[in-house]
């Protein structure tokens, strides 16, 4: 619930702090005293749109801060989830703060952490439901009316089950449609896939093969030159005219004779002998290499043909042989998938049919439950409307299912209806405030006090199902007489058993029934208007209620005020 509202440099308010309690709180005061400004400030703290015009003249900035006690039930889980989403601490309270500067820029904070204004709005919608004469109230929206109906009937669990089933059914149906639409194209592509797979697999590609072929082709093309070079190298080492090997042998003999005279060169002799052996071995290798070189034109042709095959495949399927191999593997996988398409389609069609029957049954069950819930809500509203002086008001709930060839099949007739995640129903609250007038959608007949009282009646009926901790009513008594005013007050007090209720009122009958009474007044100080809020005790309440009755607070009005308060006390 709302425990405190602090306002600084907002409209005509310089600085104000108002504390609130549980139960029913009324705010009274003369017209123009600033009661509605308090409500406007609360809305701004909850993320309502606001510009520089709301900042008090001459002030560099304005600020509004609303402190809410953390609810123990109802919206607790949703609030905790929202706090977790934005990494906010939420111990015992939620502090919503909005700061606006004279230039028109604003910022929002929740529990001291800067957040987008949309987050303020998200928290505000979970904490407060505000009802004014000209506000676009949430309950006027048709999507909201479906939520109201389901909560009143306790259908949240069934609705969630239906939503999950519909999501799964819709996903499977979309997949089936994709497969069906792609079937013709897939079959046309099958011939191409088979050709590609056959062509690549027939080539029996092997990673590294291309490099090996290039190396072998290089040897065959240069066979004559290789023979010449290897022969020349061999001749240089072993030639009859005296090759390198013979020279090394002569040198080795000479060094051996040196060793006989000077043993200090023994190591040189050993090294030279090793060189002789190494060069001799090299010479033999060169001979073998020369003798092995062979020019094979048939093998060269085969290699050229194979390299041409690889080049052709690379032009079509990839820049390298491994890429061509990978393309072939993907093509084979796709080919097998297309070849099994009929079987896959048949399986998916069977699964979609089973999902539709299951989902249709659940959606039908939800629709029937909504129908019964609507009947009960309409009956409950009849009594509530009479009690609020709306005897001529008629209320109906229209449940509509829209036929659609692409919709969900419902038992028992097998007709198809359009659906959303909330089911196959659309709900419209219809109302006629005056005899003889046709029933119209609630959002089309919103008109001042009648709509406010109608919504109050609806709220009183929905109180058990409504999870919003704080309800704010801005002048729901406009156009209401004394007798109906007592009924309105009783309804507000009834609501306050399950919610914190804050109401701006001009009727003494409503003020007398409140648990807490705040009076709003304004004065001129130092040439500027200043707004103040005061909590009234019983003697002060008698004076305020008497003034509301007569305008001047006559002795007769004081006695009537006392009687009203005594009657309200007895009725508790």
The predicted pLDDT at position 463 comes to: 64
CB 7 within 8 A of CB 15: yes
Q: What is the pLDDT of residue 135?
A: 44
Helix (H) or strand (E) holding 17: strand 13-19
Question: How confident is the model over 502-520, as a mean pLDDT?
Answer: 93
Q: Please give the share of the chain, as a percent, with pLDDT higher than 90.
A: 43
The pLDDT assigned to 544 comes to 93
Residues 6+ apart with CB under 8 A from 291: none
Q: Mean pLDDT in the chain?
A: 87
- 232-246, 305-319, 486-500 — which is least confidently predicted? 232-246
Listing DSSP states for 426-451 in one string gives EEEEEEESSTTPPPEEGGGS--HHHH
Worst-scoring range by mean pLDDT, 194-208, 421-435, 456-470, 539-553?
A: 456-470
| Tens of pLDDT, residues 281-327 | 888 888 888 877 777 788 888 988 998 999 999 999 999 999 999 99
Are 475 and 504 contacting, i.e. CB atoms less than 8 angstroms apart? Answer: yes
| Global pTM value | 0.60
Residue 307, phi then psi, degrees to nearest 5: -65, -35
Which two structure tokens, joined as six digits, stand for 43? 């809305």
Residue-wise pLDDT for 27-76, tens only, equals: 999 888 889 899 999 999 999 988 889 999 989 999 999 999 988 776 78
Task: Read off the pLDDT band of 264 (50, 70, 90).
Answer: confident
| Size of the chain in residues | 572
CA distances from 286 to 236, 249, 282, 462 (A): 11, 19, 6, 105
Distance CA 469, CA 130 (A): 11
Q: Residue 377: its pLDDT value, please? A: 95
Q: Across residues 377-393, what is the average pLDDT?
A: 86
Token pair, residue 531, equals: 């707004």
Task: Please tell me the distance from the alpha carbon of residue 370 to that of residue 366, in angstroms, as a whole number.
Answer: 6
**Per-residue model confidence (pLDDT) at position 241:** 58
332-370 pLDDT per residue, tens: 998 888 878 778 888 889 999 999 999 999 999 999 999
CA dist 315 and 323 (Å) reads: 11
Q: Which residue, 500, 494, 498, 532, is CA-closest to 516?
A: 500
Q: How far apart are the first and last CA of the chain?
A: 22
Q: What is the mean pLDDT of residues 542-554?
A: 85
C-alpha to C-alpha distance for 533 and 541, rounded to whole angstroms: 14
Who wins on pLDDT, 479 or 179?
179
For 234, list phi and psi in degrees, rounded to 5.
Answer: -65, -45
φ/ψ bin of 74: left (φ > 0), alpha (ψ from -120 to 50), beta (otherwise): left
Read off the pLDDT of residues 64-117 as tens digits, 9 standing for 90 and up.
999 999 887 767 888 888 888 888 876 788 999 999 998 889 999 999 999 999
Return the ∠ at Cα 456 (arms to 454 and 461), rounded to 5°: 100
Instruction: Tell me the backbone φ, ψ of residue 92, rounded to 5 degrees.
Output: -110, -10
- The continuous run of DSSP H or E covering 558 comes out as helix 555-571
Q: What is the pLDDT of residues 132-149, one digit of tens each?
A: 654 445 677 777 889 889
What confidence tier does 427 reach under pLDDT thresholds 50, 70, 90? very high
For residue 415, pLDDT over 90 is answered with yes
What distance in Å separates the CA atoms of residue 488 and residue 494, rounded to the nearest whole number?
10
Per the CB < 8 A criterion, the answer to whether 276 and 252 are in contact is: yes
């Amino acid at each position: 619930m709302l425990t405190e509202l602090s306002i600084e440099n907002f409209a005509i308010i310089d600085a104000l702090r108002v504390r609130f309690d549980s139960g029913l709180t009324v705010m009274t005061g003369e017209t123009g005293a600033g009661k509605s400004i308090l409500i406007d400030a609360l809305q701004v703290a909850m993320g309502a749109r606001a510009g520089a015009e709301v900042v008090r003249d001459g002030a560099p900035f304005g600020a509004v801060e609303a402190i809410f006690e953390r609810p123990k039930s109802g919206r607790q889980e949703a609030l905790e989830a929202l706090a977790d989403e934005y990494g906010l601490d939420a111990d015992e309270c939620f502090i919503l703060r909005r700061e606006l500067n004279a230039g028109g820029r604003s910022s929002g904070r929740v529990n001291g952490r800067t957040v987008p204004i949309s987050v303020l709005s998200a928290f505000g919608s979970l904490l407060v439901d505000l009802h004014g004469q000209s506000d676009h109230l949430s309950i006027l929206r048709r999507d909201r009316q479906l939520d109201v109906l389901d909560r009143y009937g306790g259908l949240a669990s069934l609705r969630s089950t239906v939503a999950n089933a519909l999501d799964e059914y819709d996903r499977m149906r979309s997949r089936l449609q994709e497969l069906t639409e792609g079937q013709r194209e897939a079959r046309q592509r099958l011939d191409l896939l088979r050709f590609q797979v056959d062509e690549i697999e027939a080539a029996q590609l092997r990673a590294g093969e291309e490099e090996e072929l290039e190396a072998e082709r290089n040897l065959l093309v240069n066979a004559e030159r290789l023979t010449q070079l290897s022969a020349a190298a061999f001749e240089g080492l072993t030639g009859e005219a005296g090759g390198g090997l013979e020279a090394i042998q002569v040198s080795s003999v000479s060094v051996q004779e040196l060793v006989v005279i000077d043993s200090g060169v023994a190591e040189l002799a050993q090294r030279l002998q090793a060189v002789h052996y190494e060069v001799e071995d090299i010479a033999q290798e060169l001979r073998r290499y020369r003798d092995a070189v062979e020019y094979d034109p048939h093998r060269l042709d085969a290699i050229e043909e194979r390299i041409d095959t690889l080049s052709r495949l690379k032009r079509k399927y990839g820049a390298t042989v491994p890429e061509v191999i990978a393309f072939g593997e993907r093509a084979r996988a796709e080919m097998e998938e297309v070849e099994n398409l009929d079987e896959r389609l048949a399986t998916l069609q069977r699964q979609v049919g089973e999902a539709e029957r299951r989902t249709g049954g659940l959606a039908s069950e939800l629709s029937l439950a909504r129908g019964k819930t609507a009947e009960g809500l309409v009956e409950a509203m009849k009594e509530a409307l009479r009690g609020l002086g709306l005897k001529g008001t008629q209320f109906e709930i229209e449940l509509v299912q829209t036929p659609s060839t692409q919709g969900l099949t419902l038992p028992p007739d097998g007709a198809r209806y359009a659906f959303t995640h909330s089911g196959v129903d659309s709900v419209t609250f219809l109302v006629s405030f005056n005899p003889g007038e046709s029933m119209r959608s609630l959002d089309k007949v919103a008109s001042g006090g009648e709509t406010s009282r109608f919504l109050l009646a609806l709220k009183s009926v929905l109180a058990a199902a409504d999870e919003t901790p704080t309800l704010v009513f801005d002048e729901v008594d406009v156009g209401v007489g004394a007798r109906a005013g007592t009924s309105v007050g009783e309804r507000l007090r009834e609501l306050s058993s399950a919610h914190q209720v804050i109401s701006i009122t001009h009727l003494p009958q409503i003020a007398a029934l409140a648990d807490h009474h705040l009076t709003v007044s304004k004065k001129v100080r130092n040439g500027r208007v200043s707004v103040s809020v005061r909590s009234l005790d019983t003697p002060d309440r008698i004076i305020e209620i008497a003034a509301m009755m007569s305008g001047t607070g006559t002795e007769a009005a004081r006695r009537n005020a006392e009687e009203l308060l005594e009657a309200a006390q007895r009725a508790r």
